[in-house]
């Protein structure tokens, strides 16, 4: 069965070779006349103010954490879905209990305004 | 030994043909998109290079190769160069497990019209395409540009939010077909397409797929009126082209998955399977372009609210309904 992953490995090498060679070729044959203005960050033609490495909204961290929690749920659902017809009602109740526990957290996030963006 | 050699040669031929066709489709997809949008807006679009601008992709490609390759002075150089590769490679790899035709036999040897039939096919696609988000966020962060950073943050938050409902929308189909292999899923649609059994699942998939590929009306990462060009503001030359290619490869992937999961894959009467697959995929892609020329852009808070408060519960509801119907039947 492991042999079916060999083509994927070959494809990975082919595609990586394609992407990297594209970058190398354009770096070799493109023109190079760097100036200080050209290499400065683009800020609509105005002198750049400060660095871009600043703090950003905590909202993005919260989204990332919620993603991890709910993505694990999705991953659990996949093997369950494959075996669903043999599990039948037992499987449905089992998964319903698991999802209801998660939904308690979901409702809590909703009530605390985790999905709001101002 | 001979068997193994034949397998290896066949695989390399298949990969060569599929990657070649994929790159050709990507190149001409850009031309098709410009033409279709132009005609929808009562313009002509590219007309100068070749007949009705047919050589435009080649001209664009040549232009981009000869352009100056700018790496901003304050950028993190290694990450800046790697990011387009990280975005492109997974986008082009997802096509590996999608079946584009029935098994054919040449010289008494049966050949599957798929690069490889992995038994966890759809998990492979979801896993590989979600790596693409690293290309976006690393590219935006390493540019050391405020617009790029904001674009990358928005883009990655959007992509991970809609990935949940994308994954959930496909579970209904898997519950019916009882397999994660895309070849098996196409086989179990011999009688009828799954879009008939899973209309809600398809709707959720379509919406999240558009959001996943950052296309209009979910194209906030590239909202040019506020973010210039989003995460690839600082990219030029072939690095920019690679990001562009990744975007179009992702459109092709989600269209191919939609065809495989909901529209019976390569199945169809009279015409050869590969032709049917390409026709169905072309219609899906046309739908993407049609949307772009029709709808205005979402606002960011609307986008996140819609994904988390509506799409996610509806996707779970779809699984519950499917589960109940399977038990009752």
Q: Provide, as residue numbers in chain A, all residues whose Cβ is less than 8 Å from the Cβ of B163.
A: 67, 71
- Chain B residue numbers touching A36 (CB-CB < 8 A): 73
Alpha carbon distances (Å) from A94 to A67, A106, B169, B266, B326: 23, 19, 20, 36, 16
Residue from the list B7, B23, B300 with its beta carbon closest to the beta carbon of A117: B300
Tell me the two tokens of residue B94: 């997802």
Name the B residues in 310-329 with CB < 8 Å from any A CB. Answer: 312, 316, 319-320, 323-324, 326-327
pLDDT of B104 over the 80 cut:
no
Q: What is the pTM of this model?
A: 0.89
CATH T-level assignment (fold) for domain A59-111: Methane Monooxygenase Hydroxylase; Chain G, domain 1 (1.20.58)
Residues of chain B contacting residue A28, judged by C-beta atoms under 8 Å apart: none
Shortest CB distance from A39 goes to which of B11, B73, B228?
B73
Is there a contact between B145 and A40 (Cβ–Cβ < 8 Å)? no
Crossing angle of helices A6-29 and B2-40, in 10° steps, is: 50
Distance CA A108, CA A102 (A): 10
Pick from A7, A85, A103: CB nearest B115: A7
DSSP string computed for B191-253: SS-HHHH-HHHHHHHHHHHHHHTT-TTS-GGG-HHHHTTGGGTT--HHHHHHHHHHHHHHHHH
With contacts defined as CB-CB under 8 Å, which chain A residues touch B16?
A: 14
Q: Is the peptide bond before A27 cis (omega within 30 degrees of 0)?
A: no
Average pLDDT for chain B? 86
Q: Do A10 and B12 touch (CB under 8 A)?
A: yes
Of B11, B180, B237, the CB nearest to A82: B180
Choose the closest CB to B66 out of A4, A30, A56.
A30
Provide the shortest C-alpha distance from residue B105 to chain A (in Å). Answer: 19
Tens of pLDDT, residues B264-321: 888 888 888 888 889 999 999 999 889 888 888 888 888 888 888 899 999 999 999 9
Q: Does B63 touch chain A (CB under 8 A)?
A: no
Of B15, B143, B237, the CB nearest to A7: B15
> Cα separation of A52 and B147, whole Å?
9
**How far B39 CA sits from the closest chain A CA (Å)?**
32
Nearest CA in chain B to A77: B171
Q: How far is B201 from chain A (nearest CA, A)?
A: 14
Query: Which among B15, B65, B85 has the least Cβ separation from residue A11?
Result: B15
- Report chain B residues whose CB lies below 8 A from the CB of A15: 19, 88-89, 92-93
Please report, for residues A84, A92, B285, B326, the alpha-carbon distance to residue B175 in angstroms, rounded to integers and kept in the order given.
6, 11, 27, 9
Q: Which residue has the higher pLDDT, B201 or A35?
A: B201
Contacts of A103 in chain B (CB under 8 A): 316
Cα–Cα distance, B254 to B20 (Å, whole number): 19
Partner-chain contact B89 A15, CB within 8 Å: yes
Q: What digits encode the pLDDT tens for the residues A11-46?
A: 999 999 998 998 888 888 877 787 877 777 777 767
Chain B residues 146-205 within an 8 A CB cutoff of chain A:
146-150, 153, 156-157, 160-161, 163-164, 167-168, 171, 174-175, 178-180
| Residue B224 pLDDT exceeds 70 | no
Alpha carbon distance A106, B99 (integer Å): 37
Binned at pLDDT 50, 70 and 90, residue B204 comes out as very high
CB pairs under 8 A between A and B: 198
Q: What is the pLDDT of residues B14-54, one digit of tens each?
A: 889 889 999 999 988 988 998 998 998 888 888 888 788 88
Contacts of B12 in chain A (CB under 8 A): 10
Per cent of chain A over pLDDT 90 is 7
- Which of the residue ranges A31-45, B28-42, B90-104, B207-221 has the most confident prediction, judged by mean pLDDT? B28-42
Q: What are the domain boundaries of chain A?
A: 59-111
Burial (CB < 10 A; 0-12, 13-18, 19+), residue B72, is buried
């Amino acid at each position: 069965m492991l042999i079916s992953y060999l083509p994927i490995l070959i494809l990975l090498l082919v595609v990586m070779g394609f992407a990297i060679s594209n970058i190398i070729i354009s770096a070799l044959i493109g023109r190079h006349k760097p100036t200080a203005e050209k290499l400065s960050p683009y800020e609509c033609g105005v002198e750049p103010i400060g660095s871009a490495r600043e703090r950003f909204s905590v909202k993005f961290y919260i989204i990332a954490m919620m993603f991890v929690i709910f993505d694990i749920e999705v991953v659990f659902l996949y093997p369950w879905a494959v075996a669903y017809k043999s599990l039948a009602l037992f499987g449905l109740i089992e998964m319903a209990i698991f999802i209801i526990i998660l939904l308690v957290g979901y409702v809590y996030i909703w009530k605390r305004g985790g999905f709001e963006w101002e | 030994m001979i068997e193994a050699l034949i397998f290896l040669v066949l695989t390399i031929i298949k990969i060569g043909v599929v990657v070649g066709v994929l790159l050709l489709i990507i190149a001409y997809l850009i031309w098709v998109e410009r033409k279709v949008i132009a005609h929808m807006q009562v313009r002509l679009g590219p007309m100068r290079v070749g007949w009705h601008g047919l050589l435009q992709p080649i001209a664009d490609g040549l232009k981009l190769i000869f352009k100056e390759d700018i790496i901003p002075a304050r950028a993190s150089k290694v990450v800046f160069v790697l990011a387009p590769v990280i975005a492109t490679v997974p986008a082009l790899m997802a096509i590996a497990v999608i079946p584009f035709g029935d098994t054919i036999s040449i010289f008494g040897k049966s050949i599957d019209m798929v690069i490889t039939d992995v038994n966890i096919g759809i998990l492979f696609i979801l896993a590989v395409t979600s790596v693409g988000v690293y290309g976006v966020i690393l590219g935006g962060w390493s540019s050391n540009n405020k617009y790029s950073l904001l674009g990358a943050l928005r883009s990655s938050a959007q992509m991970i939010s809609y990935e949940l409902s994308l994954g959930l929308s496909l579970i209904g189909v898997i519950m019916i077909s009882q397999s994660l292999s895309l070849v098996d899923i196409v086989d179990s649609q011999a009688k009828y397409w799954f879009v008939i059994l899973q209309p809600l699942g398809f709707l959720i998939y379509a919406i999240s797929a558009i959001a996943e590929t950052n296309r209009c009306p979910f194209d906030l990462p590239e909202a040019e009126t506020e973010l210039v060009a989003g995460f690839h503001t600082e990219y030029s030359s072939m690095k920019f082209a690679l990001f562009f290619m990744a975007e179009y490869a992702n459109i092709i992937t989600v269209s191919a998955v939609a065809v495989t999961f909901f529209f019976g894959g390569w199945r169809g009467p009279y015409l050869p399977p590969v032709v049917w697959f390409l026709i169905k995929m072309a219609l899906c892609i046309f739908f993407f372009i049609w949307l772009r020329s029709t709808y205005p852009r979402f606002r960011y808070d609307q986008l996140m609210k819609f994904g988390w408060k509506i799409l996610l519960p509806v996707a779970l509801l779809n699984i519950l309904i499917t589960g109940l119907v399977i038990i009752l039947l």
